[in-house]
Amino acid sequence: MSTGSVTSYIDVAQLVLYAFWIFFFGLVFYLRREDKREGYPLESDRTERSERIKAQGFPVAPAPKVFELRGGGTATAPRGKADTREIRAKPVGPWPGAPLEPTGDPMLDGVGPGSYAERADVPDLTVDGRPKIVPLRVAGDFHLESRDPDPRGMEVIGADRAVAGTVTDVWVDRSETFIRYLEVEVPTASGPRRVLLPINFARVDGNRRQVRVKSILARHFGQVPALKNPQLVTLLEEDRIVGYYAGGNLYAEPSRMGPLL
């Protein structure tokens, strides 16, 4: 037998190859199970919500693991707790996987592009335990770059080219050191209220002193999800606010919901 041969049919190189195949299969199996810690088990939409079939596929979801959170407390994944929120939408057809159509006010139903996750209703924190996203009136150690346009005092223009309100403050991320939201004062039937506008949905025009928003109309600003505390925003509130503006890309006008062709 030649050097490296174990028998006349098996050598070391062949054994190493087999070991690599076994290791690689085990790695894929492990990673596939671990990525099922979020969103699994799935619920089949072929039955009523009270009788939903649990679908896990192969491999099955891993056993729950408890994680200790930096701010105290624990979190379990998979959570095992089903989302019990009412789905304010119905399928457009009887076939499985049919698109959902909102049953009420599409801007407030929280479905489709306007959906949001049930995140913790607490603010995200910096390394030193302070609220991460706050207005400049709270973050006294932050300021706007003098060479950039200051959006405070600018009019906010909706997709219908109507004035929605006026920017009153800027919310910054203390950890990432950039602007997250613009605070906008908007008129409502019950008086003025202040809402947050995600900077990703805004276009600041320093020459015209305007902030333009294409996702929603001027009248929609009065229904932006509110904050419990005017000085900070929680993880749940962030998801709801961003979901509201994202939903406007499809639901703000009836013409946006139809086919393009």
pLDDT of residue 179: 95
Q: How confident is the model at residue 72 (pLDDT cuts 50, 70, 90)?
A: confident
203-205 vs 210-212, strand pairing mode:
antiparallel
Q: What is the pLDDT of residues 83-106, one digit of tens each?
A: 677 888 888 888 877 888 889 889
Nearest-CA neighbor of 36 among 22, 57, 67, 54? 57
CA atoms within 13 A on the CB side of 51: 3
Q: How confident is the model at residue 261 (pLDDT cuts 50, 70, 90)?
A: low
pLDDT of residue 85: 79
Nearest-CA neighbor of 125 among 199, 71, 184, 56? 71
- Region of poorest pLDDT, from 39-43, 65-69, 189-193: 39-43
pLDDT of residue 4: 59
pLDDT of residue 86: 82
Three-state secondary-structure class, residue 18: helix
Q: Inform me whether the pLDDT recorded for 26 exceeds 80.
A: yes
Structural domains in the chain?
A: 1-63 (4.10.540.10), 133-257 (3.90.50.10)
- What's the mean pLDDT when you consider all of the chain? 88
Mean pLDDT of 28-40: 89
- Region of poorest pLDDT, from 17-21, 72-76, 237-241: 72-76
Using a cut of 0.85, tell me whether the model's pTM lies above it.
Answer: no
